[in-house]
Structures are given as C-alpha cells and as structure tokens.
Chain A
Amino acid sequence: MKADYLSWGRYPILEQRGRVFLNRKLPVNLDGSSYLPRGLGRSYGDVCLSQGGDLLLSKSLDNFISFDKENGILRAEAGVSLEEILKIIVPAGFFLPVTPGTKFVSLGGAVANDVHGKNHHCSGTFGRFVKSLRLWRSDMGFVDCSPTENKDLFEATISGLGLTGFITEVEFELKKINNHLIDVETHTFKNLDEFFELSKRLSLIYEYTVAWLDCLSSAKNFRGVFFAGRHAEVKNVDIPLRKKSLPLSFPFNFPKWALNNYSMRCFNEAYFRLQSGKAEKSQTHYDPFFYPLDGVKNWNRMYGACGFTQFQCVLPNKNQHASLKRLLGIVANSRRASFLTVLKEFGAIESPGLLSFPRAGDTICLDFSLKDRKAFTFVKDLEEFVCSEGGALYPAKDAFMQADSFKLFYPNWERFSKQIDPAVKSCFWDRVFNV
C-alpha cells in the first residue's frame, strides 16, 4: 500500500492523499472534499491521519514574516519548522519559550498540540506564548485569533489538533538568552524516591529538568538518570554554534526482533554506567540537550515495520505519587521493554488550550513495539488504569484512546466540538468523538 504519509509511530497505516496550502494569502478551493491540516507529521498516532480527507500540507508556508528583535517577538508562517526558527533566533540572542523533544516539528504543529518541554514546571506550554494566530477555515475564510479576538476559537485552536481549521500564521514571544550553551547537572538515581527528591530540589534552581528511566529494572526499584539544565550565563567551553549534522540515519526498518528485552537491558546497563561516570556539572550546546534523538534521522524505523506506540500519560501525584508507582509496577511486570522512557513532574501552570494535555502531576512517556497482538490489549489496559486514576493521555502520541476515556481526560470536549471546521476529517476525532 502506498504510504507516503505516515505518522511517526508508523501505526496505523492508511493511504493518504496530500495537497499543498500554497500561499498564506490565498484561500484553498476544497472542491467539496474534507481535509486535515498536516505539518511535518511528527505526531505518533493518528492525529495527523485522515480517513477520506486530503492532508492539507503546510510545507509551502515556510516564510518568516517579521522578527522584532527589540521585544523578542517572531511572526512566521505555520509551516516553518522549529529548527528553522532556532537557526534565526539563536544568533540574535533568543530561544524558543518552550520546546518539545524534537525540533523537526512545524510551528503550526507546535500550536496544534500545545507542546510542552523540560521547562513545563516554570513556563507551562507553548500555547501560553502565542500572541496571535491566523487560521483558514472552509466556512469562515481567514480569521485572526488571539486572547482578545475570537477568544473561543483561539482557545480551541491551541491544542486543537488542526480540527478548528488550518493555521497559516503564528506570532509568539521568544525568550532572551546570552549564548547557545546550556549548563547541565546530571545525577543518577537508584529508585523513584531518589528521583522525586532530585526533581523537587533541582526544579527550584534549574529551568529544564527531565529524567530517563530504566524500566526493565526490578519491579521495586527504578533506576535512571536525571538531567537538569539552564541557559548558560557565561561560556566556559569552546563549542561552535553551527555544527555539522550527524550522518546517522535509519534508512530502512529494523527487523522487529532487534529491539527486545535483552538488547534493551544491555543498552540500559551501558547507558546507566556511562551516565554514572559523567561529571555532575558540564556545559553543552543546546542541541544535544534538547534534541538528543534528532541526531539520528528516522529513529522511529528502529521499531520495524510493525511500528510502535508512544504511551504518554499524566497521573495525579497525590499519596506520594502512588499512581505513577503502580503504573511502573504494571509495566515492569509485563516484561514489555520500553526503549525510551522519560519521566518528569509537570508544574501547576494552567494550559491555555481546550484539549491541552499538560496539567499538574507526574508525566511519563513509554514506547511499546506493536509487534504482537497482546501489545494492543496491554495498551488498552494501561489506558483503563489512567482513567481510573484520574489522569490523562496525550493525543499527539495516541493511536488508541476511546471516546469515553477522551471525555474523561478532556472535560472541555463539548465546548471544543463547537469550534470545529465542518470540512475537517481526522482519524483521531472519528475515534474519540461520537455524539
């Protein structure tokens, strides 16, 4: 089956047709078809897939519009990638106010998923820094939205997964920095209590915090590495701004047995030892700190043709993080290896979008290969667990959540549904919304 347009998890696979939104000033003639906006296709599940609609691509909208260096405000077309933005703003002394774990997402995608990053506990989500945006809708044409203009549509479009229309332009605030380096503090931890102690202490003094977790450890103790960072005041090392991009790439799918419990245990062991040896404090270029996986193109192919799902949830942290501990116990007992497990405490800053995922609590990100049928039931069980604990799943990563779960996770769903562009068709929305 021709598969030009996949999602990052390479599951599900559907035949898709793409057309390009050519010009930010010219409306599109849909000729009666439905559509779904699509940027760089880095969401994992099916939020960027459409059954029966055309994928309306933002790749031609790659122009910057204005860069106000006095006030740190950038306006650009929605197809510009965060990578392109960084190339322009960093030499001028600015950084993204919030960045996800990859820079290969479009500006429109960052808004549509209301992305979050390692600084959530200080800064909240990307949507908080959006001053205004322009949207194209099949029923309204071009509409400008901001916290003061078309506020309902604005709140729905941030985190709106493209369902409210095609974002053409975004204006947002930048963050001032002194240089392109990050001061990093690294710690290993032997169990979750140590993790929470580190998180509590270091989140007060570092803007960026995250932990990688080895969840193949025994069911009682989870070891891992904690990273804390902040933009460097002073350069202590000589690292050039522009570096050559790594030639590493996965040009084809790995066989599905390549990533298994044994290979992952070896990797985890090696990685843990490597990090244990590292100096506690160091200075690094921003790129490997924020985007460690971007150095290997197409890393998602490592999971093979069967694809994978990235399970990201947020769980309430009451009762000494009991929910998280129980979840990790379930995962460890399942013997299902998660190659990249990331853990962070979200802050309490309210997210601006009606379908925004981040909220106060513990967030964990797990990858599961979809190589056997039982994987699907396992993910379903995890979803039920999240529902029962009062947590939520992240649409940008999801390929499975059911309608009932969706309504629990996103109580604003009804308000949101009123803002949808009638011509949009999305696999995700088909699945989670039944009237």
Chain B
Amino acid sequence: MSELNDELNIVIFGATSAIAIATARLWAEQSANLFLVARSDEKLEVLKQDLKARGANKVITYIADLQDLSNYSNIYFELNQEFPVIDIVLIAQAVLGDQQESENDSDLLLKEMELNFLGPVKLCNDLVKRMLESNRGTLAVISSVAGDRGRKSNYHYGSAKGALSLYLQGLRNRTANTAVKVLTIKPGFVDTPMTENFKKGLLFVQPEVIARGIAKAIQDKKDIVYLPWFWYFIMLIIKIIPEKIFKKMSI
C-alpha cells in the first residue's frame, strides 16, 4: 500500500495479454495504480483508457519489447520513478509458438525460451531485490499446467514454463522468512488469442475466471495456484503416471 492511501501499486509485464487485461480490470475497479508494460502502443492506449474509466487511480504505460532483455534496466528506471514501493508484480508475457516450426528451427525455439523463461527470470531476479528492501509485495508469475510434465505435443512451451515454476519455487524458498510472497499461477485451458486455433472443449474458461483466481490467490497469500481449481487434480494424475507408460502416450 502506498503510505498515504489504500491504492495498491501494481506493475504488469505483458499487460495486453488477455489474462493480464482481465486481471488489470479487477484491480482498476479497486482504484489501483497500474504500471503497464507491453509492446504495442496502440493496445496500451486502449487499455489505459479502459482502466481509467473502470476506476484505476493512476495508469502509466511503458512500451517495451520484453523479448529484448537488454532493455529491462530502462523499464526499472521508469518504474522506480513512478512507484517508490511495489505491492504486486504480475508477469504475464508469453508466446505459444508453432512447435512444428520450432522443432525445425532452434533459433526460434531459443527466442521463445527467452520470452517465456529467461525474461521472467530476469524480472524476478531484479525486482525481488527491491521488494526485499521494502520487505513487502507479491511477485505473481503466470506459468502453466503445461509445465507440470513434458508432453510431446507441447514440450517446447511446457519446458519453459516448467523451468519457470522450478525457479519460482526456489525463489519462494529464499523469501519464505520475509513479507515478500512468490506466487506461481498455473492456468489450464483459457479462451484467449493464444489458444485461437485450439478446438474449444469443456475445459476451456474465460480469462475473467483466471483473473478472479489470480486476484484471490494474491489476497489469500497462496504459493501455487491451479486455475481453475480442478487442474490440480488433473495434473496430479498426469504426474503420477510412470515414465515408462507416459513416454508412449499421445496427449
């Protein structure tokens, strides 16, 4: 909380992704101060107007391509000016590439890994220091159920998310005795532009459902949250299957 009033200082990376927008809207209704980082100035402008109308106290937009890790220090500089203290960091940038393509093109694979894993790791490593100094705040990072087990249909994306989950686990261990919380968010199937070409089955939910789950998990100071809740049980079963059997499956 900022010293003078109840508005939370929240920074969102990958702010124009569907889940990030839905979550930002919830926080806007609570009059939060929002620092939004994304690539498209047009989408950011539309989002800024929307969040202000919904009740956000302050909305600052920062245009940056999070694929370019060398640029992050500029973002931090701007962020430090605006938010002396950070209450919530939401890391939401990711790309679900065409695995057929990345299997044939290692450079593409590595670029996707950069955005999906290395970028978030860098952000966490840099920002957690600040948060530990002020001894407050939640680092909430969107991972995925895909990171719980490597499956041939999705292991490029999945392994980046899996590595991310593991990193966050270690970070959580590091910060456990402080007031800084590290939240790993694991959504299942969500109806967003990322899954545009998927056949939408019964398990798909709207980004608003995930957003409510994220906001609640942060409020309840959770460590790991599967969204919706039933993915916890689905992945429990997936993880239990012995490797000898799983490696022959096609899911």
Contact = CB atoms under 8 A, between A and B. Distances in A.
A63 B29 contact: no
A25 interface: yes
B103 interface: no
Contacts, number: 30
B53 A87 contact: no
A63 B55 contact: no
Interface string A73-95: 01010000000000110011000
A64 B29 contact: no
Given A87-B29, A88-B29, A88-B55, A63 B49 contact: yes
A65 B54 CA distance: 9
Nearest to B50: A63
Interface in B29-63: 29, 42, 46-47, 49-50, 52-55
A385 interface: no
Interface residues of B, number: 10
Contacts of B55: 88, 91-92
A63 B53 CA distance: 9
Contact of A88 (B46, B47, B49, B54): B54
B29 A66 contact: no
Contacts of A137: none
A72 to B, nearest CB: 13
B49 A64 contact: yes
A361 B50 CA distance: 40
A64 B42 contact: no
A65 B49 contact: yes
Given A87-B29, A88-B29, A24 B46 contact: yes
Contacts of A87: 29
A179 to B, nearest CB: 18
Nearest to A76: B53
Contact of B42 (A25, A63, A66, A92): A25
A67 interface: yes
Nearest to A75: B53
Given A24-B46, A25-B42, A67 B29 contact: no
B42 A65 contact: no
A25 B46 CA distance: 10
Interface of A: 23-25, 63-67, 74, 76, 87-88, 91-92
